[in-house]
Each structure stands twice: as C-alpha cells, then as structure tokens.
C-alpha cells in the first residue's frame, strides 16, 4: 500500500503538479484567512452576509472553496 507521503513526493516530481498545487494552496490560504478574520470579529456567516449585502449561502460557498471570490467581494 502506498503511503500518502510517498504518493505526494512522487506527484511533486511532475512540474505541472507542483504548479497547480501551489496555485490551489494560495487559494486555501486566502480562504483560511477570511474564515479566521470572520471568527476573530465574532461574526456568523449570516451576520457577515448581511454586512456585505449577500446571502449566508454565498459566504458558505466562499468559505468552502467552491467558488472563487471576485475582487469586489474581497474589497468589501
């Protein structure tokens, strides 16, 4: 059975994989920062949504990584 660490090392030998991994890692880092900021402000998704003029489900999709935020959304 292949260990996850061994698989990851093997995949990282591919330059295309490394590039895509770095791109996705940046997205997840941004999402994590957004979630931490919301939690530090002690806001629920619904409260943040009201302040941004959007819906709680839109915040959930953003925090879940299912959508890429627009620049306008990030600016808000």
Local confidence pLDDT in tens for the 76 residues of the chain: 778 889 989 999 999 999 988 888 888 888 899 999 999 999 999 999 999 899 999 999 989 987 777 777 777 7
Q: Which of 56, 58, 52 is nearest to 76 (CA)?
A: 52
Contact status, residue 55 vs residue 49, Cβ threshold 8 Å: yes
pLDDT of residue 50: 96
Q: How many domains does the chain have?
A: 1
Say whether 16 sits in a helix, a strand or coil: helix
Structural domain includes residue 2: no
What does pTM read for this prediction? 0.65
The CATH number of residue 68's host domain is: 1.10.260
Residue 58 lies inside a defined structural domain of this protein: yes
User: What are the distances in angstroms from CA 35 to CA 9, 11, 44, 56, 73?
Assistant: 29, 29, 10, 13, 14
Q: Is residue 6 part of a domain?
A: no
């Amino acid at each position: 059975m292949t260990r996850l660490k061994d698989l990851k090392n093997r995949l990282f030998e591919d330059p295309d994989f490394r590039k895509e991994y770095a791109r996705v890692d940046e997205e997840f880092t941004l999402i994590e920062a957004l979630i931490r900021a919301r939690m530090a402000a002690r806001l629920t998704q619904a409260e943040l949504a009201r302040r941004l003029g959007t819906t709680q489900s839109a915040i959930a999709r953003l925090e879940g990584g299912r959508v890429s935020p627009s620049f306008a959304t990030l600016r808000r």
